[in-house]
Structure formats: structure tokens, C-alpha cells
């Protein structure tokens, strides 16, 4: 039978091929290949979609987190609280800014930062200045920002949202990216809004933070060739900006399709000894990943592979157990048991807007066959 991939960025290109090809031709014909109107236009359009006034494009999502941290004045010796159950980019960016990652456990039965764990760590933080919290809206589900914002205000922390997987998700009717002080998105090709290469953006309602991020992303320039502050080189190029601009109008429709696929999985997998995604009230989940959970995860993965169905594990090892980080990060003294347990049990099923209904039904049928 035809293989079913876990994700399919080529299908996303083919679905918008005419608009994307026209955007690429427009940039090639313009002769303008760094910055310019394509980047400015996309920054403004994406910021508006995220519910804020300012967007600052950059080369990738990792750089976006570093830019946001540095724009907030966070650097050497500052403590930044986040999770271990995330893409390593979250922690790598904190270290690149010179700050100290402090890893907090995820919610029991969930995948986002545990506000109770954050409160516990903040009562007795490691040495350093508590400066920020980076909640990750993992898999497209908004983290519990109401509780996190309350803690942040009490402790004087910046809230820097990691929205790499939550394009279009909302909490209480407000988009992720508009909930904290500043937010970071990735446009990696498999994201809900993906480029045909790397790309990222910082968004914020704060004009001062946006101006700082804009300077830092290009050598700290306020005027060309003169650095007013120490900066880096991380620019969103016009080609990717034009591609993203061509795809942005379809984001709402694509997310609706993701939710429809998730609802189909929910109904088809109900009643099995399998943990299914759960949503809090007031949340619109955009299902960057549809993640199930079971103790015999590897056996199910092998079964689906033999049936030609791709799966993923996002993520197989918590960051604090990576060889590069093991033993040298500040951790919640109560431990990261939920993060470690999740890594042993999670499995991402096929999820992308172009996944056909009969393909989703085939995934469901094979999973049900596994449990017979």
C-alpha cells in the first residue's frame, strides 16, 4: 500500500504551488535579495495575524529565542526557566544568550510547563537573577499562560513564548504570541506555517523590544555599518518571506483541517488503552503534532512501520539527559519525572493538512489491529 508519511512538507508546497512559484519569481525578478519590501510586508502581516503590532524576521526559530532574550536585556548569569521536554533549540538559544537554563517539569498527563513546578523552583531558585520564563506551546497546545503570567508578575519575570509549534493556536480567544512580553516562531518546513527552508520571527506589542530585536539581528546597527550594540547576523531572506506570505492566507484553513484530522483520530481511537491528546477549556489546539501515549510505544511504532505508516517521537530524550547537557543544567530539585516518563511513552501519528481522510482511517485501523 502507499506509504503514509508522518509529515509531508512537499504536499504543503504542491497545495499552494501556483502562489508560491509566483512569489519566488517575483523575488528573483526584483533583484533585491536581502531585506526589502517582501520581508517588511511579511513581518507586518504575520504580526497582525499573531495579534501584535511588531514582527522582526530572522533566520530560524532558535535565533528568534536568542533575539527575544537579548532584546529583554537577559544575558550572562540570568536565570531563564523552561522545560526539558522540548526541542533542544529552546535550551540552546538560552545558553547562546549567555543565560542559565533552569528546567522545570511538565504537567502530569500533559506536555507543557507545570505552573506548580515553576512556583516551587521560584521559591528556591539556583544562584543568579531570575529573569524570564520561556513556556513552550508544545504540539500546538497553548501552555497555561494564565497561571504562568501570574507567577511572572509576582517574581518580576519576562514571559517569552516559544510558539514554534503553535501558529494560530489561541487561549481565551487570544493568539499565542500575544500573551506574554515577546514571542518566537519557527518557520521550519514542517511547521503549521512552514518555509521552503529555515526562517523565524520575533513578535511583540512592545515597540521598544521590537526595536532592540531589529538592531540585534543585524550587527546591532541603527545606522548602516555602525553598531550601536553588540549584535549578530540573522535575517529572514526575501525569498522565504515571499513564500511564507503566499502561504499565510491558508493558515486558518490548514489549522481547521488539522483539527478535523485530530477529531477523526479522537473518535476512531476512543476506547483503546491509549492516551489521547487532551485540551483545557478555552484553548484552540492547532495540532502541530497529534501525540498518543502508551507504555509499549516502540512495539506500536514497529507495527505501524511494517504497515507503511510513518510516526515520530517528539522528543525521545529530555534535554537534561542529552550527552551535551547531562549533569550541567539547573533542574527542578523535585525532579523531572513527568518529562522522562513522557519521553518513554509518546508517539506522533501522521499529521498534516493534506492527509486524506482514508489515510487517517488506515492509521486508525492499524492501531486498532495492534490492540486486538
pLDDT over 90, % of the chain? 99
42 confidence band (pLDDT: 50, 70, 90): very high
pLDDT surpassing 90 at residue 1:
no
The segment(s) of the chain belonging to CATH 3.40.640.10 are: 9-104+111-249
pLDDT surpassing 90 at residue 314:
yes
According to the model, what pLDDT value does residue 261 have? 98
CATH T-level assignment (fold) for domain 250-371: 3.90.1150
Residues 6+ apart with CB under 8 A from 278: 109, 110
Dihedral sign for Cα atoms in the order 52, 116, 77, 236: negative
Contact 4, 223 (CB under 8 A): no
According to the model, what pLDDT value does residue 89 have? 98
At 80, which helix (H) or strand (E)? strand 78-83
The residue-averaged pLDDT of 28-44 equals 97
Give 283-308 pLDDT, tens digit per residue: 999 999 999 999 999 999 999 999 99
Give 200-251 pLDDT, tens digit per residue: 999 999 999 999 999 999 999 999 999 999 999 999 999 999 999 999 999 9
According to the model, what pLDDT value does residue 112 have? 98
According to the model, what pLDDT value does residue 245 have? 98
Give 118-162 pLDDT, tens digit per residue: 999 999 999 999 999 999 999 999 999 999 999 999 999 999 999
The rounded distance, in Å, linking the Cα atoms of 138 and 127 is: 28
At 153, which helix (H) or strand (E)? helix 145-155
Give 7-34 pLDDT, tens digit per residue: 999 999 999 999 999 999 999 999 999 9
The rounded mean pLDDT for the chain is 98
The rounded distance, in Å, linking the Cα atoms of 13 and 48 is: 23
pTM of the model: 0.98
Distances (CA, A) of 148 to 133, 134, 247, 361: 8, 10, 32, 38
The closest alpha carbon to 340, from 359, 358, 320, belongs to 320
Residues 6+ apart with CB under 8 A from 370: 299, 300, 303, 304
Distances (CA, A) of 117 to 108, 163, 285: 10, 21, 23
According to the model, what pLDDT value does residue 223 have? 94
According to the model, what pLDDT value does residue 246 have? 98
According to the model, what pLDDT value does residue 61 have? 98
pLDDT surpassing 90 at residue 315:
yes
The rounded distance, in Å, linking the Cα atoms of 54 and 207 is: 7
The rounded distance, in Å, linking the Cα atoms of 193 and 294 is: 29
**Beta strands at 100-104 and 129-133: parallel, antiparallel or unpaired:** unpaired
The segment(s) of the chain belonging to CATH 3.90.1150.10 are: 250-371
pLDDT surpassing 90 at residue 345:
yes
Domain 9-104+111-249: CATH architecture, name and number where available:
3-Layer(aba) Sandwich (3.40)
Amino acid at each position: 500500500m502507499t506509504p503514509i508519511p508522518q509529515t509531508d512538507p512537499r504536499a504543503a508546497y504542491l497545495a499552494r504551488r501556483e502562489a508560491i512559484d509566483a512569489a519566488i519569481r517575483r523575488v528573483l525578478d526584483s533583484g533585491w535579495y536581502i531585506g526589502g519590501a517582501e520581508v517588511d510586508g511579511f513581518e507586518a502581516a504575520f504580526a497582525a495575524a499573531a495579534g501584535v503590532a511588531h514582527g522582526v524576521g530572522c533566520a530560524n526559530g532558535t535565533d528568534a529565542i536568542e533575539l527575544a532574550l537579548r532584546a529583554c536585556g537577559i544575558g550572562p548569569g540570568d536565570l531563564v526557566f523552561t522545560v526539558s521536554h522540548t526541542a533542544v533549540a529552546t535550551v540552546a538559544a538560552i545558553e547562546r544568550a549567555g543565560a542559565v537554563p533552569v528546567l522545570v517539569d511538565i504537567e502530569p498527563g500533559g506536555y507543557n510547563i507545570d505552573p506548580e513546578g515553576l512556583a516551587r523552583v521560584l521559591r528556591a531558585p539556583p544562584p543568579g537573577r531570575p529573569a524570564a520564563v520561556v513556556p513552550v506551546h508544545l504540539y500546538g497546545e497553548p501552555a497555561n499562560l494564565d497561571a504562568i503570567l501570574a507567577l511572572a508578575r509576582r517574581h518580576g519575570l519576562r514571559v517569552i513564548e516559544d510558539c514554534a509549534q503553535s501558529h494560530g493556536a489561541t487561549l481565551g480567544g487570544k493568539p499565542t504570541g500575544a500573551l506574554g512580553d515577546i514571542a518566537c516562531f519557527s518557520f521550519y518546513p514542517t511547521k503549521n506555517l512552514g518555509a521552503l527552508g529555515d526562517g523565524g520571527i520575533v513578535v511583540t506589542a512592545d515597540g521598544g523590544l521590537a526595536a532592540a530585536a531589529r538592531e540585534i539581528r543585524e550587527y546591532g546597527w541603527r545606522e548602516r555599518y555602525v553598531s550601536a550594540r553588540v549584535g549578530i547576523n540573522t535575517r529572514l531572506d526575501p525569498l522565504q518571506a515571499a513564500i511564507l506570505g503566499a502561504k499565510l492566507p491558508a493558515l486558518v484553513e490548514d489549522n481547521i483541517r488539522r483539527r478535523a484530522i485530530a477529531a477523526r483520530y479522537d473518535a476512531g481511537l476512543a476506547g483503546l488503552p491509549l492516551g489521547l491528546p487532551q485540551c483545557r477549556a478555552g484553548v484552540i489546539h492547532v495540532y502541530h503534532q497529534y501525540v498518543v501515549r502508551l507504555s509499549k510505544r516502540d512495539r506500536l511504532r514497529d507495527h505501524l512501520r511494517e504497515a507503511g505508516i510513518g510516526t515520530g517521537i517528539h522528543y525521545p530524550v529530555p534535554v537534561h539527559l542529552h550527552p551535551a547537557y547531562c549533569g550541567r543544567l539547573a533542574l527542578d530539585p523535585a525532579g523531572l519525572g513527568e518529562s522522562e516518563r513522557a519521553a518513554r511513552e509518546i508517539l506522533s501519528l501522521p499529521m498534516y493538512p493534506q492527509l486524506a481522510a482514508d489515510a487517517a482511517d488506515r492509521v486508525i485501523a492499524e492501531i486498532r489491529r495492534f490492540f486486538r
